[in-house]
Structure 1
Amino acid sequence: MANMRCAITNCKMTSYNKPPGVTFHPCPTSQEMRNKWLLLLKNKCTLLDWNRTKICSRHFENKYFDSQRRLSQYAVPTLFQQTVKIMKDASDSSPKTRIDKLLSRQSQAELIMGVKGAMSQLEEPENVNAYVMDNLKCRSDAPQDVQMWLLAKKQDHLITKLIDQISQHKKHVEVLQKKMNETRSSKKEMEQNVESLKYIVKCLQEKHTTLEEQIEILTAVESR
């Protein structure tokens, strides 16, 4: 995959050194939004190619992102003053060693599968209970293999708990989303009912006016 680079001047954010959570976004397609971008990016972008230029998410305010971190079609880049600090943060969080770089390329699912696979092949050392205390810490005289096994066991347990929590949070989000959709549907139905009632009231008012006119006519006839 080609290396993406942010087009903002002095912003050295790329797809290789970006910290987690930073994304790259293309230029808008509508002429109206392009005009807005041109005004904001004046003297802040060395080259603005509508078809190829990418702007990193650090230059957009949070209000332009939804809960899934998707950028609104009406978003405009407005954050430029912290570019130097952003680059420093990105540099600090970028992988330092070859192992870090390799790990950063793997997805969360791949890492979890790797840990699970390693745990399944890891044999429990002999007399491990004799070296592990009640607070789940190894005694000072515990062999290296016991210490490593206990650490791996803790990590495996933590990963399992995290997966369960993520699954629960996902279910909660789905429930909330469903309730929101139901609320919107109910609101729409209420609005439709209100419009229907308004129409009924209007019809009744017209009939009332007609009846008043008829009463006036009858009264005039009787008075003769």
Structure 2
Amino acid sequence: MSHCAVHGCKTSMYNKPPGVSLHPCPGSSEMRSRWLLLLRNKCPMLDWSSSKLCSKHFENKYFDNQRNLKSTAIPTIFPNPSQSVKAIEGGPVLKTKMDRHLSKMTQAQLVADIKNTTVRLREPLNLSEFLTNDLQTRSDAPLEAKLWLLIKKQDHLNNRLMETIVKNKANAELAENSVEEVSKSKKDLEKNIETYKYIVKCLQEKQATLEEQIEILTAVESR
């Protein structure tokens, strides 16, 4: 491909500004996944084997001294300022206004908001009539039925997750108790060992005393 694959970018092999270069897509699956996350909705015709991106979409830190693109480079600069993203290592890139607002809400706030919304919505009385045997909505089902099926599935999933969390918490407590019991048993064992050492020492002292008494008796009898 002779031009930059980013939508709206006019750079090509024939009209490159001075200092601008075209670079092929990465070959590793890991880097392709990172590029795909950043280029989503920005490269409608992205082809890993032939597409290229120009250097205008990469920060300076991704180039070496010879202006070669590093293998760890990711595109973060785009023509439309509203589309520019800041790569977040190990996390998703928030691009829409909704994503940014949702990311600011806590889990408790999200759950409360969902519950308040579902309370205001009325579940169709004949919801089951619009469901198939594999728990899908029929083609003639109204939008309310489709929405409520999704709500019920999500609610069921949330309940499963909560059960898993509670179970994992209980297992963690059991494991912690087991560790405490093992630690206590270890301390008791160490205490018993010290006791046994003391008993052995006492027996050794008594044995020494007994041997002395035997020597004395032997000496007396020999006279």
Query: Smaller-chain TM-score range?
Result: 0.5 to 0.7
Question: Distance in 2 between the 1:97 and 1:91 partners?
Answer: 19
Are the aligned partners of 1:132 and 1:139 in contact in 2 as well (CA < 8 Å)?
yes
Residue type of the alignment partner of 1:137: Q
Larger RCO, structure (CA 8 Å, separation 6 or more): 1
Q: CA 1:211–1:126 in 2, change beyond 3 Å: closer, same or farther?
A: closer
1:112 Cα shift?
2.1
- Specify the alignment match of 2:107 in structure 1: 108
The CA deviation at 1:219 is 0.9
Cα pair 1:112 1:159 within 8 Å, conserved: no
Cα deviation digits, residues 129-166 of structure 1 (max 9, x gap): 22211211011222222211211121112112211221
Q: Is the 8 A contact 2:132 2:138 kept in 1?
A: yes
SS in 1 for 2:94: coil
Cα displacement (A) at 1:223: 1.1
Alignment of 1:1-224 (within 5 A): 90=89, 93-125=92-124, 127-224=126-223
CA distance in structure 2 between the partners assigned to 1:210 and 1:198 by the alignment: 18
For the pair shown, the structure with the greater C-alpha radius of gyration is 2
C-alpha contact 1:124 1:149 (8 A) present in aligned 2? yes
Cα separation, partners in 2 of 1:91 and 1:189, compared to 1, 3 Å: closer
TM-score (norm 2): 0.56
The number of residue pairs the alignment matches comes to 141
The CA distance in 1 between the partners of 2:219 and 2:205, in whole Å, is: 21
Code of the residue aligned with 1:151 in structure 2: it is: L
Q: How far, CA to CA, are the matches of 1:84 and 1:187 in structure 2?
A: 53
- CA 1:212–1:159 in structure 2 vs 1: closer, same or farther (change >3 Å)? same
CA positional deviation for 1:90: 2.0
Which runs of 5 or more structure 1 residues have no equivalent in the other structure?
1-82
Q: Distance in 2 between matches of 1:220 and 1:91?
A: 88
**Alpha-carbon distance in 1 for matches of 2:194, 2:139:** 77
CA RMSD in angstroms comes to: 2.4
SS in 1 for 2:158: helix
Unmatched tracts of structure 2, length 5 or more:
1-71, 75-85
Residue 93 of structure 1 aligns to a residue in which SS?
coil
Call closer, same or farther: CA 1:187–1:107 in 2, change over 3 Å: same
